[in-house]
Amino acid sequence: MRVMSIDFGDSRTGIAISDNGGILASGVETIFEKNPKAVAKRAAQLSKELEAQRIVVGMPKNMDGSIGFRGETTLSFIERLKKYTDLTIDTFDERLTTVSAQITLNEANIRGDKRKQVIDTVAAEIILQAYLDYIKGGKQNGR
């Protein structure tokens, strides 16, 4: 199963896709757009182009597991996205994925403008890999 992930943000949204076997996540692009409607349209278009069979959206939760303002914004985005695709859309806890992405970029010595260009895509890749591991019964704890 080919799964696409979305790391939705206020001004940048990262996109990643899995391989056909649903085993390995790869970054695709960062959408530089503030308008949620435009982001939803582009994400739906990408899901078709990439032949995704499911979408997973990173759900920003508070450290106590509750859904705050960013989570509510993400839920609104998901409702908008549903208008442009009929694919199943799951959410997956994205706590600390940006921190993981920063560590990955530090290790790769990616800094400055290049870092801003890719951090959300790397975060989408981390979300997707964790999701794939979870649904395959891998190492991740249930989220």
What's the total number of domains in the chain? Answer: 1
Going by pLDDT thresholds of 50, 70 and 90, the confidence category of residue 62 is confident
The domain that holds 14 is classified in CATH as 3.30.420.140
pLDDT in tens, 95-140: 766 666 666 656 766 666 665 667 788 889 989 998 998 888 854 4
In a domain, 24, yes or no: yes
In a domain, 140, yes or no: no
- The reported pLDDT for the residue numbered 127 is 92
Q: How far is CA 41 from CA 3, 5, 11, in A?
A: 17, 15, 15
Per the confidence metrics, is the pTM higher than 0.75? yes
In a domain, 106, yes or no: yes
Domain that residue 30 falls in: 3-135
Least confident of 38-42, 75-79, 107-111: 107-111
